[in-house]
Amino acid sequence: MSSTHQAAVGHDAPTKNADLLSWVTRCARMTQPDRIVWCDGSEAEKKRLTEQAVKEGILIPLNQEKRPGCYLHRSNPNDVARVEHLTFICTPNKTDAGPTNNWMDPEQAYTKLGLLFDGSMKGRTLYVVPYAMGPLGGPSTKIGVELTDSIYVVLNMRIMTRMGKPALDMLGDSEDFNRGLHSTGDVNPDRRYICHFPQDNTIWSFGSGYGGNVLLGKKCLALRIGSYLGREEGWLAEHMLILGVTDPKGQTTYVAAAFPSACGKTNFAMMIPPKSYQGWKVETVGDDIAWMRVGPDGRLYAINPEAGYFGVVPGTNTKTNPNAMATIAKDTLFTNVAMTADGDVWWEGKDGEVPEELVDWQGRPWKKGCPEKAAHPNSRFTAPMTNNPALSPKANDPQGVPISAIIFGGRRSNTVPLVLQAFNWTHGVFLGATMGSETTAAATGKVGVVRRDPMAMLPFCGYHMGDYLQHWLDMQKSITHLPKIFQVNWFRQDKNGKYLWPGYGENMRVLEWIVNRVHGRVPTQETLLGWVPRQGDIPIQGLDLPPEAIAEATSIKADEWKSELKSQEVFFEQLGTKAPEALMLQRKLLISRLGS
């Protein structure tokens, strides 16, 4: 290692933390960068790195009058989504990873990836990125340090986390931090691995530049490692939005909701109530991840560990999500969208006419009518949460917000009704455990196939899914004020494939019913599946909807549910002996109810 490395890692580093310095030194010896830069999170650093990224062609400046502070990044066409088949949980015992995760022996993984990392940063800069997941100083906050050779990662981590000196100061001399090592390598899918070592609180990611694989604070630490830490320490790390809904009397109810990627989480988290809902307000605490702990009063409190939004762009417009459109108007990094002739961005579903000519997400000329998408279906925006006009004043509260309702929802064209309430906590966990959703472009693979996605955590649970579901059941013992649990489905279709429910801001009508149920304001109707709204309890005034559409959207068809139960059986069989007994009993009860 050259003297440049020694100076950067040693006495010139902005920390005296011996464990951190030793680890950075070892990683630098392996990767052999030309130089090491410790990131401080300052505005001056952002300006310098952005200018460097533009100079190197990593970022393309957009029209600064139309989108001040905004830039476009184009990733390698082979590197545009999370790669679940190349994502591994590395535990000494394969059983601990479970049947729904890819497993690799830790020693084998360190050896295999060590060979890839060896010399991978020659000619490059190693950036040391200290970051906090959660409000600085909070009891739930975790510190991570990511070593990366990607300026794109540094600039995204700056938006998505509390990055730099404040995180380093919070860490102090502690050895309790997540160790993340990332190199883009040669972006070859044959040499691409995202490996998690839960017992070591370590993540190694090689060969990708895509956010979900390389922003190691996000899915990797906040969910895969986070879920493991949550079980060990008695809390929940969940793939959930957090919102606060305030009624006309000023009472705010906090809700956490789990939806698989690209199923409308961000839209729901940033929802603007319809005009008929005068006096109602929805505010965003978080749009993707919730860390939930039991507070001193026995209630479940949630924080959003992130500081920004990494959202799917296609379909975002002033109708579907006006707050998101305001959020991405400035200081935003766009990835794999199209660009207009005047330097603005464009994607399928954006407001206005389709431009006659564009430069597509791969940098190729594109003409209106071209069968190929101009923006990639999984193109993204990275924007600071402070840009959100609906940001909750509690978004940075280190204690979090008290959760009164938990909602599970997937993308289902049939079977699942618009909304129902679980009979109790165990039944609610069963609803979450058996959640199915039709796949989207957020992950590689076929689109439109129904797969089980328990609590929307299938790709993100860092240990055995059966143990994870049991952990949910066990949490009931320590929560004295249990949130009520609901299931929703905005995506049900009629026989012609038309959506039965308008969705987007109109979901406020369903949210109102959920809030009313939380506070015991409205009676309900019991069905085989759970409690559902009575006729007329979901207001449809002002909607161009025939009553039969609502009846169809909320209907429960026994024949569809018998097929659903068969599909669920395959999932539970996967879990083997670790399928929780309480959930098996819920399943038997449902079968008996449907049978009668």
State the pLDDT at residue 440. Answer: 59
Query: In sequence order, which residues have a C-beta less than 8 Å from that of residue 85 and are 6 or more positions away?
Result: 102, 444
pLDDT at 42 over 50: yes
Residue corresponding to tokens 């006495």: 11
Does 263 qualify as catalytic in the annotation?
Answer: yes
Q: Which of 103, 206, 201, 196 is nearest to 148 (CA)?
A: 206
Would the annotation count 18 as a binding residue? Answer: no
Q: Is 264 annotated as a binding residue?
A: yes
210 is in an annotated binding site: yes
- The verdict on whether residue 378 carries a ligand-binding annotation is yes
Q: pLDDT value at position 447?
A: 62
- Which CATH number goes with the domain that contains 333? 2.170.8.10
The residue out of 188, 215, 234 marking a domain boundary is 234
Assess whether pLDDT exceeds 70 at residue 8.
no
Residue 468 annotated as binding site: no
Residues 189 and 224 in one domain: yes
Instruction: Confirm whether residue 35 is marked as ligand binding.
Output: no
The verdict on whether residue 505 carries a ligand-binding annotation is: yes
Q: Please say if the pLDDT value at position 422 is more than 50.
A: yes
Task: Work out the end-to-end distance of the chain between its first and last CA atoms, rounded to an integer number of angstroms.
Answer: 73
Number of domains in the chain: 3
If one counts every other C-beta atom within 10 angstroms of the C-beta of residue 160, the result is 27
On whether both 280 and 329 belong to a single domain, the answer is: no
Residues 543, 545, 548, 549, CA torsion sign: negative
Could you tell me if residue 252 is inside a domain? Answer: yes
Region 105-113: mean pLDDT is 98
Mean pLDDT of 180-189: 98
Residue-level pLDDT at 2: 35
CATH number for the domain that contains residue 38: 3.40.449.10
Within 270-396, residue ranges assigned H as helices are 322-327
Alpha helices in 118-171 (DSSP H): 151-160, 165-171
Instruction: Please give the pLDDT value at position 270.
Output: 97
pLDDT tens digits along 401-414: 999 999 999 999 99
Q: Do 142 and 191 share a structural domain?
A: yes
Q: Please check whether residues 326 and 192 belong to one and the same domain.
A: no
Rounded average pLDDT over 74-102: 97
Q: What is the DSSP letter of 577?
A: G
User: For residue 483, what is the domain's CATH number?
Assistant: 3.90.228.20
Range of the domain at 270: 237-306+392-595
The CA distance from 589 to 116, in Å, is 52
From 207, 234, 261, the end of a domain falls on 234
Question: Which of 200, 234, 268 delimits the end of a domain?
Answer: 234
Looking at the fold, whether 270 and 147 belong to one and the same domain comes out as: no
184 and 42 fall within a common domain: yes
499 belongs to an annotated ligand binding site: no
pLDDT in tens, 366-392: 999 999 999 999 999 999 999 999 999
For 257, the enclosing helix (H) or strand (E) is strand 252-258
- Residue 535, domain member (yes or no): yes
Amino acid sitting at position 398: P
Query: In a 10 Å sphere around its CB, with 0-12 CB exposed, 13-18 middle and 19+ buried, how is residue 559 labelled?
Result: exposed
Torsional sign, CA 556, 557, 562, 564: negative
pLDDT at 160 over 80: yes
**CB-based contacts of 332: which residues, under 8 Å, 6+ apart?**
67, 69, 70, 381, 382, 383, 387
pLDDT band at 12 (very low <50, low <70, confident <90, very high): confident
Nearest to 258 by CA among 400, 451, 407: 407
In a domain, 378, yes or no: yes
Share the mean pLDDT of the chain: 95
Question: Is residue 248 in some structural domain?
Answer: yes
Q: Are residues 284 and 212 in the same domain?
A: no
Residue 321 annotated as binding site: no
Residue 548 is predicted with a pLDDT of 84
Query: Is 211 one of the annotated binding-site residues?
Result: yes
Alpha carbons 358 and 81: distance in angstroms, whole number: 23
Q: Residue 95: pLDDT above 70?
A: yes
Residues 474 and 581 in one domain: yes
Let me know whether 449 and 519 are in one domain. yes
Specify whether 221 is located in the same domain as 288. Answer: no
Tell me whether residue 250 is annotated as binding.
Answer: no
Provide the pLDDT confidence category of residue 6 given band limits of 50, 70 and 90: very low
Shared-domain flag, residues 344 and 355: yes
196 with 211, same domain: the answer is yes
Q: Is residue 74 part of a domain?
A: no
Instruction: Answer yes or no: is 69 within a domain.
Output: no
Q: 27, 70, 195, 263: which one is catalytic? A: 263
Does the residue 347 lie in any domain? yes
**Could you tell me if 392 and 283 are in contact, meaning their C-beta atoms sit under 8 angstroms apart?**
yes
Q: Is 507 annotated as a binding residue?
A: yes
Query: In angstroms, rounded to a whole number, what is the distance separating the alpha carbons of residues 297 and 306?
Result: 25
> Residue 445 has what pLDDT?
60
